[in-house]
Structure 1
């Protein structure tokens, strides 16, 4: 039998805190967000400050992660790069969340031709590989931060719409929704007050996982020269600039590569743990294991 306070009846946050992956992921995400928010105070140098007397220096006491081909401090550029990545992730996923939740909620609740039209649109977007869809959007826009945000927002839109619609399909037949209809509330009010709030948990899990993919895609676009442009300290652009120094100064590409890998891993661990915490069956299994 399950002990009191564990298993399927455990609060989601308690199950989440007992998961080692959640703790590791939360620490990694906290470090990433902390770097992004405190970049002006954490970075020891101006990230774009050029010092031609310190070109391609290895890690040292003065420059903990070394310097690049222009003598710029890599640690400072990594810290400021976290702010760029966080900005892209928050803005693009916010855009995808607002549009995707509204489209999915209306499609799932109303059904009929509206549902059919929204689902066919998502099928068209999903027919493109993720990175190809992002490249297609940035190809018709001038390179820069706004283009990357829009491209990654479009890239995440079909997944958010599908998950939101699936959650709404299971919610719209609940008694509280029927009761709201019976007392004469309009569909718009029902969707906003009852349907969308109860459809959010799976969307939140998806957005956490898509944060990792969004950061990776933004780095990929910058690496290809279609995203954030130098000298802005963006991790993918830093790796692109360091390609010609792989043998002579491997730290130039290794450090931003490790920053990307660590951040993506942290968000994936956090997303998996949130999925387990919000899934009653997973909570029950975890409770039996305690």
Structure 2
């Protein structure tokens, strides 16, 4: 009697493909990440180089995105501003998410008075609006790149802490965590080997959302003149300094706004696609 042998490849579950919207979002986000690294080297002109007397020039072969209020090439300005917009947001979201998640896991694992004190401090910080906190810090200590990163990171760390703590409290009640405690494992082993791997997916989804919020926060500060200072510029300050050309329909106002919009929408599409893919995989 013959028995059919099923190969390991045939027994595997079919891989869930990323939705088209998620693929588009990941592609656009990867493009902007590349521009954040290589954009200044690909720019046709210097960030502050004035190419002529034609201010608010329309789109042309010489200036694919027009010129700004001083006659500077907008394509070069946007490419030079990409590292500030994307790089600062990535650094700030790493500070917020990594710091908030690590503190949350320690608080959930330790419990008792440490968890209570940290949670009350976080509740107090959550009561302060992010933009108001950023305005207070910038007005009191001035504007610099490290200060902007710390301001945005501290402002969004309490939200990351709250989400990570809720996940950690649920995970630490699982049997495998209790078994690790019974074996006498230390807090570092329990948090890094038992809790974190089972929290990573929702934490990554929250990471992407906080990146969006921080991009908008930093762009808003730059639009108010409290972000990146001249001669450097991020996309928010490019919108602010060219706002007088809005009545003329100048591309110098529209193009930085489109860059901000494409970045935020792309990240949102990528997060929705990745989270939806994992959800469908669990349901399947």
Quick check: TM above 0.5? yes
For residues 18 and 10 of structure 1, what CA distance do their matches in structure 2 show?
Answer: 15
Question: Offset of 1:53 from its aligned partner?
Answer: 2.6
User: Which secondary structure does the structure 2 equivalent of 1:54 belong to?
Assistant: coil
Question: Offset of 1:181 from its aligned partner?
Answer: 1.6
Aligned residues: 273
* Residue 276 (structure 2) aligns with: 276
* Residue 212 (structure 2) aligns with: 212
Question: Offset of 1:231 from its aligned partner?
Answer: 2.3
* Residue 226 (structure 1) aligns with: 226
For residues 148 and 124 of structure 1, what CA distance do their matches in structure 2 show?
Answer: 21
* Residue 146 (structure 2) aligns with: 146
* Residue 5 (structure 1) aligns with: none
* Residue 6 (structure 1) aligns with: none
Question: Offset of 1:98 from its aligned partner?
Answer: 2.4
Q: Which moved more, 1:29-38 or 1:186-195?
A: 186-195
Question: Offset of 1:276 from its aligned partner?
Answer: 1.9
For residues 243 and 187 of structure 1, what CA distance do their matches in structure 2 show?
Answer: 53
For residues 42 and 62 of structure 1, what CA distance do their matches in structure 2 show?
Answer: 15
State which structure, 1 or 2, has the greater radius of gyration over its C-alpha atoms: 2
Kept in 2, the 8 Å contact 1:160–1:206? The answer is yes
Q: Is 1:186 equivalent to 2:186 in the alignment?
A: yes
* Residue 4 (structure 1) aligns with: none
Question: Offset of 1:144 from its aligned partner?
Answer: 2.2
Question: Offset of 1:105 from its aligned partner?
Answer: 0.4
Q: Is 1:122 equivalent to 2:122 in the alignment?
A: yes
Query: CA offsets, 1:101-155, max 9 Å, x none?
Result: 1111012222222222222222212212222222222222221211211111012
* Residue 91 (structure 1) aligns with: 91
* Residue 5 (structure 2) aligns with: none
Question: Offset of 1:42 from its aligned partner?
Answer: 2.3
**TM-score, with normalisation over the residues of structure 1?**
0.87
User: Which secondary structure does the structure 2 equivalent of 1:62 belong to?
Assistant: coil
User: Which secondary structure does the structure 1 equivalent of 2:173 belong to?
Assistant: coil
Query: CA offsets, 1:164-221, max 9 Å, x none?
Result: 1111111112222222222222223322332223222211110111111111111000
* Residue 261 (structure 2) aligns with: 261
User: Which secondary structure does the structure 1 equivalent of 2:49 belong to?
Assistant: coil
For residues 10 and 208 of structure 1, what CA distance do their matches in structure 2 show?
Answer: 28
For residues 169 and 242 of structure 1, what CA distance do their matches in structure 2 show?
Answer: 49
Kept in 2, the 8 Å contact 1:212–1:264? The answer is yes
Quickly say closer, same or farther: Cα 1:50–1:42, change in 2 above 3 A. Answer: same
For residues 191 and 84 of structure 2, what CA distance do their matches in structure 1 show?
Answer: 34
In angstroms, what is the RMSD of aligned CA positions?
1.9
Q: Any runs of at least 4 consecutive aligned residues in structure 1 with deviations exceeding 6 A, and if so which?
A: none
User: Which secondary structure does the structure 1 equivalent of 2:200 belong to?
Assistant: helix
Kept in 1, the 8 Å contact 2:18–2:274? The answer is no
For residues 233 and 150 of structure 1, what CA distance do their matches in structure 2 show?
Answer: 19
Query: CA offsets, 1:233-264, max 9 Å, x none?
Result: 31111111112221135212111011111111
